[in-house]
Structure 1
Amino acid sequence: MNSIKTKEMTNFRWVMCALLFVATTVNYLDRQVLSLTWKDFIAPEFHWTDDNYGTITAVFSIVYAACMLFAGKFVDFMGTKKGYLWAIGVWSAGAVAHALCGWLTMHFEGYASVADMAAVQTGSAAALLIATTSVWLFVAARCVLALGEAGNFPAAIKVTAEYFPKKDRAFATSIFNAGASVGALAAPATIPLLAQYFKDAGIGGGWEMAFVIIGGLGFIWMGFWVFLYDQPEKSKHVNSAELTYIHQDDDEPVAKTDAEEKKETQIPFWSCFKYRQTWSFITGKFFTDGVWWFYLFWAPAYFSDQYGYKSSSSEAIMLIFTLYAIVTVLSIYGGYLPKLFVEKKGMNPYGGRMLSMLIFAFFPLLALFAQPLGAISAWWPAIIIGLAGAGHQAWSANLFSTIGDMFPKSTIATVTGIGGMAGGVGSFLINKGAGALFTYSEAQGSAFSFLGFDGKEAGYMIIFCICAVAYLCAWMIMKGLVPKYRPITK
């Protein structure tokens, strides 16, 4: 707004955005500990197969999906401050709980040490029992993690809607959503090295302390949140100029109170499903969230399986680091593109977002070349997956912002949770399917082929093909459901 003197304006909204960024970074660090330690640290102790790991990630995804369905409503009910505290407290406790799984397996199965479990003959009945027990213990810890993590994005999107006008929300979302990339970026440079350090120091298998240290970061964040967050109307850090800027989309310069807003615009939970806008968001999340989670959960194993790079090796660290560096740098601009369309082309925010999402939907098509070019060098799939992942993160930032475009603020967290549930279901399907496919294709060897690839390589090629086309399919369905800007005014 030209009438606002930006030089006199406080910029506390960006402090809030920074807090959301850190929370999302911690969120993804906690998710990545397992994916970066299971293949080379955990699997040898518990005799896991790809299918075992696929089961753990799939159950995490479906529990996350179920929790997301109600997490948004919980955040709306509890309020942003308390809701976010509960979420990160629970998921941090769940992250730390993973460290107990080895000790519990050892005692449940009656072994004197982890080394005794690892020494059991692979494929034997004893090994199968160890694998089964450990898998379900990890599943239990993963369920607690999923319960808490389900609250992150509903709360973060609600904060973004509270602190930013519509034209800035995609950019703010892309910044805090980049925490997913930064978390994934920091993870390979820290987690395998932590695990290796503590393993060499003789503290368990090493991976346990990685879970404890990374999981503990969330408790530190909670202290900052308690002292810094408040609604912008009540915050001592937000002056009148910034408050006017934040509420520039409102009919009145100051937003209604929570009680007034809830009374006038609250949409009952089940009533959300009668709107095409809700189903458009559900579609976008269902088709694409699983793609990102596949890259997140399986990339370290991919470079270990296909190229022999152990996750703690310098080669694997550089490959994963490069992959997520590309994602991090490029994805931030994803939220800026619709801002240009709105300010330079005069488009409405929803129209600018949908055009941006169409552009970003073409990036994942590059995944079709990851496996073929991998025959030349492992760097090609790292770069390609990085570009595809950047497309996803840019897509995701704009997809989240469509909720704020069309739903009242009191319902944003609820709809975010519903969409997150759909994304979790999609992730369950792709992770469980990938684990089963990789185990089967590896066992079949040359008898299993696809597009010129045999065995496990063929399995990876199939999943890459699915990841490549998911975004364009989602965009076409979304456009059919909500062809143009149509806010819900109830």
Structure 2
Amino acid sequence: MRDRRKTGSGNERSCCERIRPQCHVRAVNLFLSPLSPVPKIPYIRWWIAALLFLISILNYIDRQSLALLIPTIQSELHMSDQQYGNVVSVFLIAYAVSYFISGWLVDKLGARLALFLFLSVWAAADMLSGLAASVLMLGVARFFLGLGEAGGYSTSPKVVSEWFPAKERGIVVGLYSMGSAIGATVAPILVLWVANRYSWRAALICTGVLALLVAIGWLLFYRTPDRHPLITEKERDQLKDLGASDEAKTAALRGVEVWRMIMTSPVVWTLLAARMLTDPVWYFFLFWLPKYLHSARDFDQQHLAQTWKIYLAADIGFLFSGFASAWLIKRRWEAPAARRCVMGFAVIFFPLAPVIALSDHLFWVFAVAMLIAFAHTTWLGSLSTYIVDLVPRPILGTTFGFIGAGSALGGLAMNQGVTWAISHFSYTPCFYAMTFLHPLAFVLVWLLTRRAWKPAAS
């Protein structure tokens, strides 16, 4: 009996030892194996869109935090307005460099690994910003934040092209683009609450921790439609041929040929110029509008929380851009024509921008600022989707990164111009400059991008 008990006990242990690794492997395969018999999620592409939306929110909370906290940071680190402008410029230089690199990385590594890398870098940089003991250390941290954050906007169009047909792309781009404005809307409330309750350092560290958690979630959840373990067969079949013609045309392309296609395309250079001309308006609203309200309108740091109203209007603009173009497409407009129509509607509001500086009433300051924010995000959401419509999917990441670099270069020029203007005059010339940038860009887009993508057929 004693021998049997020993033998039985040994067999039980042996069975447990065999079962435990199998259970562990099955648990891991729930996320990592496309072959696991796990429950499917209907319409999983919209869950992926929601994740892009969340990443975009965090991107702009992290980015907006410095502008909101600058009164306290300037006091503690003895930072001048010129030094603040330099820190913003360092961020934008890194942002431009990252756009060139990140698009190529997305095409090489795929959206899953590339975005995990970008999220991890910007999370670490944001936490490092909270530990900065000098202006130099803060500048270094914001440089790495720029390197990480640009990658999010190179990856998202690639994900949209992999998961969504043309009729849904405008809505999805509008959705994740709206995340940036919602991030800017939430930031004045969330960041300033943490800063007032604890410190500005705690606010920056908390936002970095949130970004790191989202990075881990993205790595576990994201796959392409053909490899995702949670996609239904019906949805997989719907997305099976998405972009197949583009894949056939560009399957043999390698590095030099891809860049030749991009650099010789008038469409790409026109879209780059459009971003370079118009994105400075949005960068001004992010980096300098809180500073303008603090310096020229006597807002203290606590009252800067009211800027959420302006960024809420920007949220509406992103949503409007997607649904307006989708409405036109349902009425048999071609997708690119629908995007151009919405962009044309947006440009009519920008001549009102000087009212922000000239009015003595805060009601009109905020009302016009909200209108300009709405108009710009309507424009930007449509332009971003327009790029996805025109560019072949296999080179979309690289192309979008190249065009996005124009955005960062325009922002860098804006930042230097604003620093010079407030040193020699006031903020007023900045608002006058907003009157003609979008109309000029629209004329370029209308004249030079209505022909098909020529290099893709070569």
Calculate the TM-score normalised by the size of structure 1. Answer: 0.81
> Residues 229 and 417 of structure 1: is their aligned pair in 2 closer, same or farther, counting only changes over 3 Å?
same
Q: Does 1:364 align with 2:322?
A: no
**2:212 is matched with which residue: 201, 214, 219?**
219
Partner residue of 1:277? 267
Residues in 1 aligned to 2:290 and 2:194: alpha-carbon distance in whole angstroms = 16
CA contact (8 A) 2:226 2:240 kept: no
Alignment of 1:52-63 (within 5 A): 52-63=83-94
Specify whether residues 473 and 467 from structure 1 end up closer, same or farther in structure 2 by C-alpha distance, changes over 3 A only: same
Q: Counterpart of 2:57 in structure 1: which amino acid?
A: T
**Separation of aligned partners in 1, 2:211 and 2:173:** 20
Distance of 2:64 and 2:408 partners within structure 1: 16
Change (3 A) 1:154 1:342: same
Q: Give the CA deviation at 1:247.
A: 5.2
**Change in 2 beyond 3 A, CA 1:339/1:419:** same
Partner of 1:48: 79
- Specify the alignment match of 1:330 in structure 2: 317
Shift of 1:324: 1.2
Q: In the TM superposition, what are the counterparts of 1:35-434 in structure 2 within 5 Å?
A: 35-38=67-70, 40-102=71-133, 105=134, 134=135, 136-198=136-198, 206-246=199-239, 250=243, 263-264=251-252, 267-313=257-303, 316-318=304-306, 320-344=307-331, 346-373=332-359, 375-376=360-361, 378-434=362-418
Please name the residue that 2:30 is paired with: none
How much does 1:176 deviate? 0.5
Residue 412 of structure 1: how far off its partner (Å): 0.6
Q: Deviations over 1:57-89 (max 9, x none)?
A: 122112211221121001111111000000010
C-alpha distance after superposition, 1:356-405 (max 9, x if no partner): 111112233331221222x02x2322222222112221211221122222
Cα distance between partner residues in 1 of 2:305 and 2:401: 33
Deviations 1:131-170 (A, max 9, x none): xxx2x32221111001111211110110011111112111
Residues 1:20 and 2:7 are matched in the alignment: no
Contact 1:51–1:432 under 8 Å retained in 2: no
The corresponding residue for 1:123 is none
What percent of counterpart residues are identical?
23
SS of corresponding position for 1:233: coil
State how far apart, in whole Å, the 1-side matches of 2:330 and 2:253 are: 29
CA pair 393-137 structure 1, distance change in 2 beyond 3 A: same
Give me the whole-angstrom Cα distance separating, in 2, the residues matched to 1:161 and 1:221: 22
Q: Helix, strand or coil for the counterpart of 1:311?
A: coil
Question: Is 1:463 aligned to 2:430, yes or no?
Answer: yes
**How far 1:9 sits from its partner (Å)?**
9.7
Query: How far apart are residue 329 of structure 1 and its match?
Result: 2.5
Q: Quick check: 1:54–1:433 contact (8 Å CA) kept in 2?
A: no
Aligned partner of residue 101 in structure 1, secondary structure? coil
For 1:296 and 1:379, the matched residues in 2 are separated by 20
Number of residue equivalences:
416
- 1:4-44 deviation digits (Å, cap 9, x = unpaired): xxxx9931111011000110111111111110011x20111
| 1:489 to 2:449 alignment | no
1:458-482 deviation per Cα after TM superposition (whole angstroms, max 9, x unaligned): x222101112321111111122222
Q: Distance in 1 between matches of 2:108 and 2:370?
A: 38
Residue 341 of structure 1 and its aligned partner are, at CA, apart by 1.6
Amino acid at match of 1:211: L
Q: Measure the CA separation in 1 of the matches of 2:54 and 2:244.
A: 33
Q: How far is the alpha carbon of 1:269 from its aligned partner?
A: 2.3
For the pair 1:439 / 2:423, whether they are aligned, the reply is: yes
User: Secondary structure of the residue that 1:437 maps to in structure 2?
Assistant: helix
In the alignment, the residues of structure 1 paired with residue 381 and residue 441 of structure 2 have an alpha-carbon distance, to the nearest angstrom, of: 15
In structure 2, give the amino acid aligned to 1:360: A
1:209, 1:440 → 2: CA distance? 35
Taking the aligned partners of 1:67 and 1:77, their CA distance within structure 2 comes to 15
Alignment RMSD (CA, Å): 2.1
Paired residues of 2:249 and 2:457 also in contact (CA < 8 A):
no
Per-residue CA shift, 1:119-141, capped at 9, x if unaligned?
A: xxxxxxxxxxxxxxx2x322211
* 8 Å CA contact 2:96, 2:404 repeated in 1: yes
Work out whether residues 276 and 409 of structure 2, in 8 Å CA contact, stay in contact via their aligned partners in 1.
yes
Give the conservation status (yes or no) of the 8 Å contact 2:321–2:379: yes
Give the deviation of 1:486 after TM superposition.
4.2
Task: Spell out, residue by residue over 1:315-354, the C-alpha distance to the aligned partner (whole angstroms, 9 max, x if none).
Answer: x312x0111112212321111111122211x221111111
Bigger-Rg structure (1/2): 2
Return the alpha-carbon distance in structure 2 between the equivalents of residues 261 and 144 of structure 1: 36
> Is the contact between residue 331 and residue 391 of structure 1 (CA under 8 Å) also seen in structure 2?
no
TM-score, normalised on structure 2? 0.86
Q: CA shift at 1:291, angstroms?
A: 1.1
Distance between the aligned counterparts of 2:366 and 2:301, measured in 1?
14
Verify the 8 A CA contact 2:391 2:453 in the aligned structure 1: no
- State the 1:489 CA deviation: 3.2
The Cα of 1:280 is off from its aligned counterpart by 1.9
